[in-house]
Structure 1
Amino acid sequence: MTSGENRRASRGWWDADADAYQAEHGDFLGDVDFVWCPEGLREADARLLGDVAGQRVLEIGCGAAASARWLATQGARVVAADLSGGMLRHAREAAERSGVRVPLVQCDALAIPFAAEAFDTVCTAFGAVPFVDDSARLMREVFRVLRPGGRWVFSVTHPMRWVFLDDPTERGLVAAHSYFERTPYVEYDETGAATYVEHHRTLGDRIRELVAAGFVLADLIEPEWPEGHEQIWGQWSPLRGRIFPGTAIFVAEKPSVLAPPPASVSE
């Protein structure tokens, strides 16, 4: 599959699914809230981004941009970006309902349309990272637009989950796939065109992508399933969540002082 096919599939899927996705998950995500994962971990409690007041923040893969609007209420200067016009339509509608507005940009996360060092923080909750074919390039793009000392925080499906079936019941407790199989999950229409694409990377892959881009990994959070949380979200469920992690949140930082490039042989 080419990058172009991957991009068309992702844009088409989220454009077509935007209404259904918001109907199913909109109440959980809220109009002005920052929820990192189906386990319900909120930025208001976790503070993984630190004090964002006065900070320039970019949310990529923003969906309906609830997180970006919450960050705006905390004093951040936020831009919310997504590949899908359908999801950004919901972002505009939620801005009308809530009265909290942030600039919206439709763009590809592999070609972020901002200058180098334009932001203090970049973040995404389950956006962009698993849906691009070259996530190492995405890490380099984020590194480019971050100022020295800036922070990059993203949540994804925990790589361990790829071993198991996408099933919230006991069937989803049986290992069915190799953790090391990196062939993307692809759905096709009746013509054979890809309609949905998601990519698996191991924990080691993710760390190597970050380090190769120049980041320092500050933390890796694996949220535990909280007591009293009984809501099922796709393959996330209390049954599975209490046994093994469903989400991985990577907290990375761009060094304040960048190392000089290695000297050439002639030098």
Structure 2
Amino acid sequence: MIQDFEPEATRRSAGDAESSRASRGWWDRNADEYQTEHGAFLGDDRFVWGPEGLDEAEAGLLGPASLLKGADVLEIGAGAAQCSRWLAAQGARPVALDLSHRQLQHALRIGGGIPLVEADAGSLPFRDESFDLACSAYGAVPFVADPVKVFREVRRVLRPGGRWVFSVTHPLRWAFPDEPGPEGLSVSASYFDRTPYVEQDERGRAVYVEHHRTIGDRVRDVVAGGFRLIDLVEPEWPAWNSQEWGGWSPLRGNLIPGTAVFVCVRDE
């Protein structure tokens, strides 16, 4: 579906239902373009935590590779399920969940036999303690109005001792324009302004929503969701990565963080 209007960008409140509806519609409309533009970087079976290119094969944030074999893993906001395919190659039993039907169609196109589930991260359609691990690379968390609700759902479906690892845009980035060049290096807004970024149509209906939380907010959300934070990773921009991805670029990546990865554990 092609939009016949130019969305208006603004900062305003947006609740759970509006955010979810906007995310589903945006990803259904833009999945084709997203996979065309970023598919080569993401690969079909690679687990990348963000535009910097931090690879789970090297980072091991989900735990030792030996523990992945036979593990039940839930990927939230899976897109075309690239991360899940990598997990399956390690001997894990992944399930790829996404809100967008079109993104999951791309997962079917690539193949690999990964179980796919279309559902909202705030209401996971699984029994309690169904998974050993849960992960999300830029999926769901930045786009939900109530991240604690999502975290509590993730905790519910995890077994005691299970890890929950998710990546988001580094909160510091919200103080800077979303530009890859020099104009993206000057502070233009308050880091402490939590007002969501909203793109809306001519009738004022949100067609894209992203929510800002400070680092402190994210930590408190993790704790309120029933987890213990054991690591916070801020990937540095590697010398090999020359690509620009939206507001991410070598210029900015060498000066300010672009991604934050939260490594959490359900203790009991």
Residue of structure 1 in register with 2:151 after alignment? 139
For residue 74 of structure 2, what is the amino acid of its counterpart?
A: L
Aligned-partner Cα distance in 2 for 1:8–1:207? 26
Tell me the equivalent position of 2:6. Answer: none
Query: For residue 32 of structure 1, what is the aligned residue in structure 2?
Result: 45
Between 1-10 and 203-212, report the one with greater CA deviation: 1-10
* Offset of residue 190 of structure 1: 1.8
Which residue does the alignment assign to 1:45?
A: 58
1:168 alignment partner, SS class: coil
1:176-202 Cα shifts (integer Å, max 9, x gaps)? 111110010000112221100000001
Quote the residue 1:85 is aligned against.
101
User: Residues 116-160 of structure 1, C-alpha deviation per residue, up to 9 Å, x if partnerless?
Assistant: 111000001000001111011111111111100000000000000
Identity fraction in percent: 61
Matched, 1:64 2:76: no
Structure 1: how far apart are the matches of 2:224 and 2:23?
Answer: 26
**How far did residue 24 of structure 1 move?**
0.5
Q: Tell me, what secondary structure is at the counterpart of 2:190? A: coil
Partner of 2:233: 221
TM-score if structure 1 supplies the norm length? 0.93
Amino acid at match of 1:91: A
> Cα deviation per residue 1:217-250 (whole Å; 9 max; x = unaligned)?
1100000001131100000000000001000000
- TM-score, structure 2 normalization: 0.93
In structure 2, what is the equivalent of residue 208 of structure 1?
A: 220
Q: Who is 1:265 aligned against?
A: none
Say which one has the larger Rg.
Answer: 1
Which letter maps to 1:219? D
Which one is further off, 212-221 or 166-175? 212-221
Q: How well do the aligned residues superpose, as a CA RMSD in angstroms?
A: 0.8
Cα deviation for residue 213 of structure 1 reads 1.8
What's the CA shift for 1:101? 1.6
Matched, 1:175 2:187: yes
CA separation in 1, counterparts of 2:15 and 2:104? 25
CA shift for structure 1 position 2: 3.4
Distance in 2 between the 1:4 and 1:40 partners?
32
2:26 aligned residue: 13
Structure with larger RCO (C-alpha < 8 A, sep 6+): 2
- Structure 2: any 5+ residue segments left out of the alignment? 1-13
C-alpha distance in structure 1 between counterparts of 2:240 and 2:139, whole Å: 27
Distance 2:85 2:202 in 1: 39
CA distance in structure 1 between the partners assigned to 2:73 and 2:168 by the alignment: 19
For residue 60 of structure 1, what is the amino acid of its counterpart? I
> 1:72-113: CA deviations, max 9, x gaps?
010001100000001001010011xxxx22100000000001
Aligned to 2:9: none
In 2, Cα distance between the equivalents of 1:155 and 1:234?
A: 17
Residue type matched to 2:128 in 1? A
Aligned structure 1 segments of 4 or more residues deviating by more than 6 angstroms: none
Q: State the alpha-carbon separation in 2 of the partners of residues 243 and 128 from structure 1.
A: 27
Q: What residue is the counterpart of 2:166 in the other structure? A: 154
